[in-house]
Each structure stands twice: as structure tokens, then as C-alpha cells.
Amino acid sequence: MSGNSHFDDDDFAKEASAAGGRSFDEFDCPDCSANNVNVENFSDGDEVRCMYCGNEYVARISAEGKLKFKSA
């Protein structure tokens, strides 16, 4: 997933409102691949931290509802 974790903010600027305020309560870390479950709900633009490696990311949700991360 590391190839998909890098993107420009402009790519999602138009799509953010189309995500419909969708939120998530788990994610797979793009660096260590650990599954982080039972985390506080997060949505587009929120920062999340991997409970295993400690890396922080900004969540981005595309218009299709696909979750991607950018290093914080």
C-alpha cells in the first residue's frame, strides 16, 4: 500500500465533500501493515496514529469512499 499512500491534497479537494462525511473506526497502517481496531471514529482530514509503530497520518477519503493516508 505504500505506493498508494502518497498523493496531493489537490487530488482530494474536490472529492472531500462527495465523501459524504463517512467515518471509520479501524485502519491498516500504511507503513507496518498492522490492523488498528477499536480506534476512535475518524473521517476525512483527521489525524490518526498507529498503535503499533507510532507513526501519525492524516486520513483522506476519496469520492468513492476509499481511505488513504498522508504522513502527518
At 15-28, the pLDDT tens digits run 444 445 789 999 99
Model confidence at 2, pLDDT cuts 50, 70, 90, reads very low
| Bridge-based pairing state of the strands 56-61 and 47-49 | antiparallel
CA 68-7-46 angle, to 5 degrees, is 45
State how far the Cα of 63 lies from the Cα of 51, in Å rounded to an integer.
27
Domain spans, the chain: 2-71
At 25-50, the pLDDT tens digits run 999 999 999 999 988 899 999 999 99
